[in-house]
């Protein structure tokens, strides 16, 4: 796994950093009170240069006084226009400047702002811990040296907020990096069996339990959706279930998860289920995808990777709640064994589905996982998947789609999104969307065409959660991976791990 930089709070105003990056708003003087005298003088000298305005992307450098130390003033633009997304992009740029300059210890000086103080401290700490992340396992020679530590100089008066947030943020950042590593691993290595081994390692190192359903057990249980999607690959499908507090290898009777009690035994804790789509590579099957950008379909397992990351974070944070994760894993390929348009498939809860598009495969494997999760008993269920291109058309790469019939759960997830900085936008689940998914020859069809496709997909999933109302589907297709700044390709973001960790912390109280 890629090691992320250590995150430290400054002792001595960041004097131990080789590069001190100071954020400065347009039209404002840099906030330098916490810095050593010689560093303040150097930074003020930059601000006094002709043409310095503090505009976005503007940067000036000077020797900081100590041998080998540089101070850099970065323009952040107008303070009124600062958002967490802008701040995170700036931190990424600063980290890349440090890497290309061979810097091992980077100092970051934050100005006081609503996006850098109070509740923002946690997401800022996480972003700083991840700012040096690069996936370079397959490179014979990494581009630059590794950033080893980030030294943070908090805004004036916010030191206590950052000190309180540091430990949790570091653990969540480590879980995000773990999810990114999994999602970035290509399909020739990251098969369903490979994901299973990574899950086994995680359960061994973090005190979780693991149950694996292989193809034979899937067939015995009638999990036809997962079997259909995985039938065209030489890498057989499987279903994983990870849990906090279970005895390894045991299956809980129906409903017992809802009776979980906290470690103290005094008060019941919520029983929470997480579900993540794990298509290790998606060719589209017989309804084959266009060649352009098909390499990005290694990221179609990002929902499962995010859920594994969330389980790691929950264990590291020692959250006291009943928690299970369900990961349906399959590779969607073409062969004589592949499922066909026109096939009718029976899923785990008995509902039949007519296949109208083999590229609408994610909902098929999720159908079995959702039905199993609900059967075992859940107070709340959240599912993540790179499910539809239609959600990307609707929201671009700025937010994930949130679908739920429960206003209370929507509010909880929105609050977690705000605190984590991982944006959600609620989209509709109208009854008419389910009508569109009805089939002439089966209970449902797996695709109804282009119009409203993100909502019709969510309506399809609603048929596999039984009577549970506190369930949510997060369509993360536009957020799970992003094009690199240098234009050389795409990389996983680990979206969803921080959001789930925040929401699970709230559930655990």
Alpha helices in 273-377 (DSSP H): 302-316, 362-375
The dihedral formed by the CA atoms of 60, 486, 393 and 465, expressed in degrees to the nearest 10: -100
Q: Report yes or no: 453 and 401 within 8 Å, Cβ to Cβ.
A: no
Name the helix (H) or strand (E) containing 90: helix 84-100
Catalytic-labelled residue, pool 104, 200, 289, 426: 289
351 is catalytic: no
Helix-strand-coil split of the chain, %, nearest 5: 35, 20, 45
**CB–CB of 399/479 below 8 Å?**
yes
Burial (CB count within 10 angstroms: exposed 0-12, middle 13-18, buried 19+), residue 212: middle
Query: Which residue is catalytic, options 312, 351, 363, 505?
Result: 363
The residues pairing with 473 across neighbouring beta strands, listed in sequence order, are 383, 403
- Which tokens hold the place of 368? 């079995």
Question: Active-site residue 171, yes or no?
Answer: no
- Dihedrals phi, psi of 434, to nearest 5 degrees: -70, -40
Nearest Cα to 147, choosing from 267, 235, 21, 240? Answer: 21
Nearest to 403 by CA among 479, 454, 499, 473: 473
Q: Degrees (nearest 5) of the Cα angle 446, 451, 453?
A: 45
Any idea which residues carry the catalytic annotation? 289, 363
């Amino acid at each position: 796994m890629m090691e992320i930089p250590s995150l430290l709070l400054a002792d001595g105003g960041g004097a131990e950093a080789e590069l001190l990056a100071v954020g400065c708003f347009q039209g404002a003087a840099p906030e330098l009170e916490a810095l050593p005298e010689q560093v303040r003088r150097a930074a003020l000298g930059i601000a006094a240069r002709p043409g310095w305005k503090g505009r976005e992307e503007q940067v000036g450098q000077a020797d900081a006084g100590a041998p080998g130390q540089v101070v850099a003033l970065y323009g952040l633009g107008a303070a009124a226009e600062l958002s967490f997304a802008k701040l995170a992009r700036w931190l990424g740029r600063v980290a890349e400047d440090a890497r290309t300059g061979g810097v091992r210890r980077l100092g970051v000086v934050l100005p006081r702002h609503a996006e850098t103080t109070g509740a923002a401290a946690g997401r800022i700490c996480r972003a700083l811990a991840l700012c040096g992340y690069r996936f370079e396992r397959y490179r014979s020679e990494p581009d630059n040296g590794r950033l080893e530590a980030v030294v943070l100089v908090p805004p004036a008066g916010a030191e206590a907020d950052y000190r309180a947030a540091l430990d949790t943020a570091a653990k969540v950042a480590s879980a995000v990096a773990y999810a990114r590593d999994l999602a970035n691993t290509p399909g020739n290595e990251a098969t369903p069996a490979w994901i299973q081994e990574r899950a086994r390692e995680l359960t061994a190192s973090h005190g979780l339990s693991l149950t694996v359903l292989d193809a034979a057990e899937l067939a015995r249980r009638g999990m036809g959706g997962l079997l259909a999607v995985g039938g065209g690959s030489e890498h057989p499908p499987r279903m994983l279930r990870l849990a906090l507090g279970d005895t390894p290898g045991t299956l809980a009777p129906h409903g017992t998860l809802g009776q979980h009690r906290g470690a103290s035994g005094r008060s019941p804790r919520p029983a929470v289920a997480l579900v993540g789509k794990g298509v290790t590579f998606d060719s589209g099957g017989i309804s084959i995808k266009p060649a352009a950008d098909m390499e990005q379909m290694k990221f179609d397992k990002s929902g499962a990777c995010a859920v594994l990351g969330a389980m790691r974070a929950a264990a590291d944070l020692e959250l006291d709640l009943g928690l299970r994760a369900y990961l349906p894993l399959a590779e969607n390929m073409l062969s004589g064994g592949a499922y066909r348009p026109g096939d009718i498939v029976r899923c785990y809860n008995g509902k039949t589905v007519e296949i109208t598009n083999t590229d609408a495969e994610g909902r098929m494997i999720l159908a079995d996982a959702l039905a199993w999760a609900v059967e075992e008993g859940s107070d709340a269920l959240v599912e993540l998947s790179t499910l539809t291109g239609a959600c990307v058309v609707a929201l671009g790469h700025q937010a994930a789609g949130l679908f739920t019939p429960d206003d209370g759960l929507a509010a909880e997830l929105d609050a977690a999104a705000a605190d984590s900085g991982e944006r959600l936008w609620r989209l509709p689940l109208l009854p008419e969307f389910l009508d569109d998914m009805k089939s002439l020859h089966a209970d449902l069809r797996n695709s109804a065409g282009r119009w409203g496709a993100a909502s019709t997909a969510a309506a399809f999933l609603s048929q596999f959660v039984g009577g549970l109302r506190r369930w949510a589907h997060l369509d993360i297709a536009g957020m799970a991976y992003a094009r690199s700044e240098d234009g050389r390709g795409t990389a996983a973001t680990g979206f969803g791990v921080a959001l789930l960790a925040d929401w699970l912390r709230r559930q655990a109280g």
